[in-house]
Structure 1
Amino acid sequence: MATHTGGLTATVPETGTAAVRISGLVRAFGERRVLDGLDLSLRAGEFVAMLGRSGSGKSTLLRALAGLDHDAGGEGELSAPDHVSVVFQDARLLPWKRVLANVTLGLSGADAQERARTALAEVGLAGREDAWPVELSGGEQQRVSLARSLVREPQLLLADEPFGALDALTRARMHTLLARLYERHRPAVLLVTHDVDEAIALADRVVVLDGGHIAADLPVDLAAPRRPGTPEYAVLRERLLVRLGVEVPSG
């Protein structure tokens, strides 16, 4: 058991147990509590989407799980795997490195380049290894970011609104890609999003963060493909919108 930055007690889960266990998590910036006694768990291989209004603490939670939370004061317990990868809203590629070098950044082993080429092929970018980031579209840059994360075979993938800056058509294509990659690699995934439809389309379970704690935790028991228009989809969508404080017209 080790002490997490900010006073949080952190542990690594045993093999075969939940990928993430959070108990009584408090995160504060000065006098302001962003997370207030939060409890949450993710099973190994489970895809969970997290919704919440701006400022509700979604990104703060991801930063704590990723070990990037260096300034907040906190308490509680957090259990997360050793191998965690993060995908951000912007691809965060190094502009002075070519695509392949961006994917292999920090990757060790004699087969690092071969693994990176395989990852790029998985995201549909075979043949673009020598391209500069500036030569790629926004969607292609996010594909490189996904390749860089998944080439490390993480046990937990944290995604902080990774498709928020993309146009609707590109976002739909990225949903299909992420779903395919998830089925192939099966990490536990915690996806932060503002998009209720995105959450329903991708996740096994949707949680709503409000007031610093989990206000709703709903399974997505919908048959594939999950398309808007079915009564079951509409009911779940309405329940989530209401939890987010959105007034839904009756009838």
Structure 2
Amino acid sequence: MATHPGGLKTPEAPTDNTVRIEHLVRTLGDRNILDGLELSIAPGEFVALLGRSGSGKSTLLRALARLDHDVAGSGELAAPDDVSVVFQDARLLPWKRLLDNVVLGLSGPDAVERGRTALAEVGLEGRERAWPVELSGGEQQRVSLARSLVREPRLLLADEPFGALDALTRIRMHTLLRKLCERHRPAVLLVTHDVDEAIALADRVAVLEEGRIAVDIPVELPAPRRHDSPAYAELRDRLLARLGVELTQEDLR
């Protein structure tokens, strides 16, 4: 068991690839951003994390990605070693072609073929030699997904990956992400401000409040998840209320 400078204990990666977070505290100045947080994610499970701005969602992702070694705090975090992160912007290297961006840092004799397969999975077959500047925002984010999944991660962390996209492109990306996750079966933690996005994609939706998980709700809705169904509306209203948004009849007109 290793201990980070910030007091975070990291046991050996669990053999069953389950993510387990216990009593996680992360401190900034004199404030606990995360205050005894507990959360588990089963292999292949898709969890969406909601919370108001400044609630600590990105802080939690940084801890899971092992990017906060110098942050003060404590707690225990067990997670698979194979972790990939998808950010809000695609973060492609503009001087490298798409295939080179996807296989960046990937080793092995089959790396290039794996990169081609990953691009085909996200609908960009034949675009391997294109430059990032030639792509739309949605296409760039597809490359980002390919770059993350080509490594076959056991844990995929997504930090508002579709926040900069237009509404129609977001819907297409939701369908693509769900299909890719069903195929590759990583555990997924998606941070989002969008309640509808959380319900559309996740097996469970958790709400972060005052540094802890305030509610953790399974999404037991049949596919496709229709916005006009009573069960969908009930879950949406429940989550919005937890986030401090109370809708009136006037708002719904």
Q: Which TM bucket (shorter chain)? A: over 0.9
Return the letter of the residue paired with 1:242: A
Return the letter of the residue paired with 2:14: E
1:192-216 per-residue CA deviation (whole Å, 9 max, x = no partner) reads 0000000000000000001000011
Structure 1 residue 16, shift from structure 2 partner: 2.2
Cα RMSD between the aligned structures? 1.2
Return the letter of the residue paired with 1:206: V
SS in 1 for 2:190: strand
SS in 1 for 2:181: helix
Within 5 A, what are the aligned runs for 1:86-97?
A: 86-97=85-96
Structure 1 residue 72, shift from structure 2 partner: 1.5
1:152-174 per-residue CA deviation (whole Å, 9 max, x = no partner) reads 00000000000000000000000
1:66-90 per-residue CA deviation (whole Å, 9 max, x = no partner) reads 0111332010100110000000000
Map of 2:237 onto structure 1: 238
Map of 1:37 onto structure 2: 36
Structure 1 residue 250, shift from structure 2 partner: 6.0
Do 2:17 and 2:79's aligned partners in 1 also have CA atoms closer than 8 Å?
no
Number of matched pairs: 250
Alpha-carbon distance in structure 1 between the residues aligned to 2:89 and 2:6: 26
Compute the TM-score of the two structures, normalised by the length of structure 2.
0.96
Map of 2:101 onto structure 1: 102
Q: Does 1:191 align with 2:190?
A: yes
Within 5 A, what are the aligned runs for 1:1-251?
A: 1-16=1-16, 18=18, 20-249=19-248
- State, as a whole percentage, how many aligned pairs show the same letter: 76
Q: What residue ranges of structure 2 are gaps of 5+ in the alignment?
A: none
Do 2:14 and 2:78's aligned partners in 1 also have CA atoms closer than 8 Å?
no
Which stretches of structure 1, 4 residues or longer, exceed 6 Å deviation after superposition?
A: none
SS in 2 for 1:25: strand
Return the letter of the residue paired with 2:120: A
Compute the TM-score of the two structures, normalised by the length of structure 1.
0.97
Alpha-carbon distance in structure 2 between the residues aligned to 1:230 and 1:5: 49
Structure 1 residue 248, shift from structure 2 partner: 2.3
Q: What residue ranges of structure 1 are gaps of 5+ in the alignment?
A: none
Structure 1 residue 17, shift from structure 2 partner: 5.3
